[in-house]
Structure 1
Amino acid sequence: MEGLLDFVLRDILTRVGGVQRCVSEFIRITDTLLPERVFERLVPELRHGSQTRSGVPVRPQLLGSDPICLADNAARLASMGPNGVDLNFGCPSPVVNRHRGGAALLDEPELLFKIVSAVRRAVPAQQPVSAKMRLGLKDDSRAEACALAIEAAGASELVVHARTKVDGYRPPAYWERVGDIRQVVKLPLVANGEIWTAADAQACRLASGCHTLMLGRGIVANPGLALEILAAQSPHGALEAGAGSSAVMVLPWEQLLPLIADFWGLVGLHLRRDQQTGRLKQWLNLLRRVYPQAQLAFEAVKTFHHPADVDAWLAKQRGGLEFCIAGAMSQ
C-alpha cells in the first residue's frame, strides 16, 4: 500500500499486537540492480533482523515485469537477510500498470511463471518466495490460471486480493472466488480485501476457506483489528458466530492517542517537512471510519500546514488526557 503502510506506520501498528508478519510497500524494479542502501531506505527493518521494533517479521516486496532483473534484485535482497521475498502482481495503480507492473501482468500467466521461477532460483531455498495477486485485470476469468502458474513456479505462499484491477477498492470483495482458487492449488493461500471488522474476517474465512488473512486499510482504520479477530476466535481457531462487532473496541482512543503522538514523532524524524502534516491527516482520515474522536481530530488538523501547529495540538490533547486519567484515579 504505497504511501500509506510504510515503515513508520508498520512500527506503530505492530506495537498494538496481533500481527504475525508484515509485507513492505512495493519496491519498483525496472532495469537496474538496486544498491543495498536503497533497500534499506525503503525497508529500514532490514538493518534490524528484518523485524519491526516490536519483533514482527517484515518481508520486502518487489514489483516489476523483467524476470532477469527481478531475480538479480531478489538475490541481492536475499543476501541482506529478509524474512523472504514477496512479489507484487496486484497493484491497481494506473501509473504502475502502464509500466507493466502489478495487476497489469494478470493477463499473462506465462510471464508470472517466468518471474516467480527466476526469483525462486535466485533466492536461497530456506527463504520463502511469496506472491500477491488480484483476481484479474478486467475480469476474473484467468484467476485460477494465474494462481496455478505462481504455484508451479515454486512460490511458497499466495495472497489473493479478492477483486480485479478494474474493481479497485470498491466493495464488495469476492471472497468466494478465493475459495475457488483454493480448490485448484495446494500452496498456502491467504485471503485479502474488504476486511474491516472481526465479523468481516469471519465471513471471509467462511467464503474463502482460508484461515490466514491479510489486513490492509482495515487495520489502519482500526489498529486493534488483529486483536479483535484473535479475541473473536474459539479455542479451536474458528471465529465465534456473531463475534467481532465493530462497536467492540479492543484499543480505546485513550490508548491510541499516545501512539498517534509517537507516529507524529517518527514522521518528523523520517519524512520531509512538506510531507509531515499530510501523513497525519491521511491516517486520521481513515481512523475516523471507526473512532468518533478521530473525526474531531481530523477537523482540528485538516487546515494545518506547519508541524509546529500539530505539535501544539497534540500537546493539548495529551494534556487533557492526562487530566482525565488523574481525575479518574482520584475518585
Structure 2
Amino acid sequence: MPRILLAPMEGLADNLLRGVLTGIGGYDWGICEFVRVSNSLLPVKTYERICPELLTDSKTAAGTPMRVQLLGSDPHFMAENARRLVTLNPAGVDINFGCPAPTVFRHRGGSALLGEPELLHEIVSAVRAVVPVDIPFTAKMRLGIEDTSRAVDCALALQAGGVDELIVHGRTKVDGYRPPARWEWIDKVRAAVNIPLIANGEVWTAEDFRNCQQVSGCADIMLGRGVIADPLLPRKVRGEETGGWAEVAPGVAAYWLGVRQKVVPDHAGGRVKQWLALLRRTYPEAEVLYQTLRPIKTAEGIDAALLAAGVLQERPVLQ
C-alpha cells in the first residue's frame, strides 16, 4: 500500500483541522504549516504555537506523526533554527521551497528560491548538518518559478544537500493552483534522482490518485486541498468502506467546537465557511449548510444554525 501524506496548507490546515482530518483517518504522516525563519533564532513557543503536536510526541490526537516545516533563505539561520527545532523531538523536519504566496515570494521564501539551485543546496546542507540521522529530513518544492527548466537542477541540488526524500508539487509558482498539475514533469524529476520522490498536486478523487501514480511514477502521494474537499479520500484510496456525509458532519462539528475555543468570535465563522466552501465540491449537504451559514455574521448565530441542521448536538460551552 502506498503512503498517503497530509500536505502543509498555510492558512487552511491548522492544528484543529489536522486533528479532525487525521481523526477521520488514512494518513501515514503529515506536515504542519510553515515556520517562517528570518534573521533570528525563534523561541520554542513559536514552534509549539504553529505545531502544537510537538507537545504530544509530535502526533495528532489520532496518532498521526506531524513533521515541522521551515521556510527561509538564510542558510545560517535556517540551520540554527533547525538545531533548536530538533531539541523538541519533531516527527521530521521539512524545508519549504514551494510556497507561491506573493508575500512569501517577495521576501525570498518558498518558491522564490527555485531559480537558485546553488542556494537550495547551501540551505539544505546547512540544515542536514544539524538534523540527526534518526529524524526524517525532507524538502517540498514546486517545478520552478515561471517554467520547469530548472526543476531537475533543483531536485539534484536538494538530493546532494542531503534530504532523505523529496516532495514535488507538479506546478510552477506562476501556475499557482490552476489545473492541471504537471504530473509528467514529476516523473522527469523522479527519473533524475536517487532518493524517494513523493508526488503532490491536483488529486481530488481516488481516480486522480491512481492517475497521478501512473503518470508521475510515484507510489506515494501527498494530498492537499483534495482532502479538505473530501476528508474520506485517503480511506477511499485504501479501498475502505466510508460513511459519506454522515461520517464527515461530526468532523465539521468537532472543528467548529475547536474554532470557537481558539478564534475570536468575529473571525470564527470565516474558518468554518472556508472549509465548507471546499467540502461542497464533494458533498451536496455541505452546499446546503454553506448557503445557510453564508449570511450569518455572528458565532452565536452559527451555533444556532449548526444545531438546527443537526451537525451540532449541543451549544458550545466556552472556556
TM superposition score normalised by structure 1: 0.90
Measure how far apart 1:230 and its partner are.
Answer: 1.1
1:190 match = 198
Q: Secondary structure at the match of 1:170?
A: coil
Matches of residues 111-260 of structure 1 in structure 2 within 5 Å?
Answer: 111-231=119-239, 250-260=242-252
Residues 122-161 of structure 1 show CA distances to partners (whole Å, capped at 9, x for unaligned) of: 1112111100000000100000000000000000110000
CA gap of 1:321–1:84, structure 2 versus 1, over 3 A, is: closer
Residues 178-207 of structure 1 show CA distances to partners (whole Å, capped at 9, x for unaligned) of: 111111101110000000001001110000
Q: Secondary structure at the match of 1:91?
A: coil
**Structure with greater Cα Rg:** 1
Equivalent residue for 2:113, pick from 105, 110, 113? 105
- What is the RMSD of the two structures over their aligned residues, measured on CA atoms? 1.5
2:61 match = 53
Aligned amino acid, residue 79 of structure 1: T
Measure how far apart 1:250 and its partner are.
Answer: 2.7
For 1:193 and 1:251, the matched residues in 2 are separated by 25
Mapped contact 2:252–2:311 kept (Cα < 8 A): no
Mapped contact 2:250–2:311 kept (Cα < 8 A): no
Equivalent residue for 1:300, pick from 292, 301, 305? 292
Equivalent residue for 1:64, pick from 67, 72, 76? 72
2:257 match = 265
Mapped contact 2:139–2:165 kept (Cα < 8 A): yes
Structure with the greater relative contact order (CA < 8 A, sep ≥ 6): 1 or 2?
Answer: 2
Aligned amino acid, residue 219 of structure 1: V
User: Which 10-residue stretch deviates more, 254-263 or 62-71?
Assistant: 254-263
CA gap of 1:278–1:144, structure 2 versus 1, over 3 A, is: same
User: Which 10-residue stretch deviates more, 47-56 or 297-306?
Assistant: 297-306
Aligned amino acid, residue 294 of structure 1: A
Q: Does 1:38 align with 2:30?
A: no
Mapped contact 1:190–1:212 kept (Cα < 8 A): yes
For 2:277 and 2:243, the matched residues in 1 are separated by 18
**Matched residue pairs, number?**
306
Q: Secondary structure at the match of 2:68?
A: strand
Q: Secondary structure at the match of 1:3?
A: coil
CA gap of 1:201–1:61, structure 2 versus 1, over 3 A, is: same
Residue identity (%)? 50
For 1:293 and 1:275, the matched residues in 2 are separated by 23
Mapped contact 1:258–1:318 kept (Cα < 8 A): no
Mapped contact 1:254–1:321 kept (Cα < 8 A): no
Mapped contact 2:78–2:127 kept (Cα < 8 A): yes
Aligned amino acid, residue 259 of structure 1: G
For 2:77 and 2:243, the matched residues in 1 are separated by 43
Q: Secondary structure at the match of 2:288?
A: helix
User: Which 10-residue stretch deviates more, 160-169 or 266-275?
Assistant: 266-275
Measure how far apart 1:251 and its partner are.
Answer: 3.7
CA gap of 1:274–1:32, structure 2 versus 1, over 3 A, is: farther
For 1:251 and 1:37, the matched residues in 2 are separated by 38
Measure how far apart 1:320 and its partner are.
Answer: 9.8
CA gap of 1:320–1:46, structure 2 versus 1, over 3 A, is: closer
Residues 54-81 of structure 1 show CA distances to partners (whole Å, capped at 9, x for unaligned) of: 0000001010000110111111111100
Aligned amino acid, residue 214 of structure 1: M
